């Protein structure tokens, strides 16, 4: 079809891994709200600092708190999200 010719179709596995990353980001925000690192007003007002803070917090949470999640470095590199694959070695150093 036209759409599949223009946009590469992902496999069900890739969609699943992508959803794991989305859940990681959501759980990170929920956790940060609970600890008072962020406020709901910051989120509602699209605070520019959050554009840098949330991904960084998610990476730390993914490596330390949710170590069995999408940033599990014990998995094969191919099983990681495409978003983080190029940074596998760097993520090991961070952990």
Angle between helices 12-35 and 50-60 (to 10 degrees): 110
Q: Which residue has the higher pLDDT, 5 or 54?
A: 54
Record the pTM: 0.81
Q: 24 and 18 in contact (C-beta within 8 Å)? A: no
Q: 50 and 42 in contact (C-beta within 8 Å)? A: yes
pLDDT tens digits, 11-50: 888 888 888 999 999 999 999 999 999 999 999 998 888 8
Q: Quick one: pLDDT at residue 3?
A: 44
Q: Quick one: pLDDT at residue 91?
A: 93
Count Cβ atoms within 10 A of the Cβ of residue 46 and give its class: 0-12 exposed, 13-18 middle, 19 or more buried: exposed
Q: Quick one: pLDDT at residue 66?
A: 93
Q: Quick one: pLDDT at residue 11?
A: 83
Taking the domains of the chain in order of start, what are their residue ranges?
A: 11-94
């Amino acid at each position: 079809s036209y759409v599949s010719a223009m946009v590469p179709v992902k496999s069900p596995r890739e969609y699943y891994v992508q959803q794991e990353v989305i859940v990681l980001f959501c759980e990170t925000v929920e956790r940060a709200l609970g600890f008072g690192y962020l406020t709901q007003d910051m989120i509602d007002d699209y605070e520019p600092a959050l554009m840098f803070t949330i991904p960084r917090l998610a990476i730390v949470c993914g490596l330390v708190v949710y170590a069995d999640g999408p940033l599990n470095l014990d998995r094969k590199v191919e099983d990681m999200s495409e978003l983080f694959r190029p940074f596998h070695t760097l993520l090991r150093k961070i952990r």
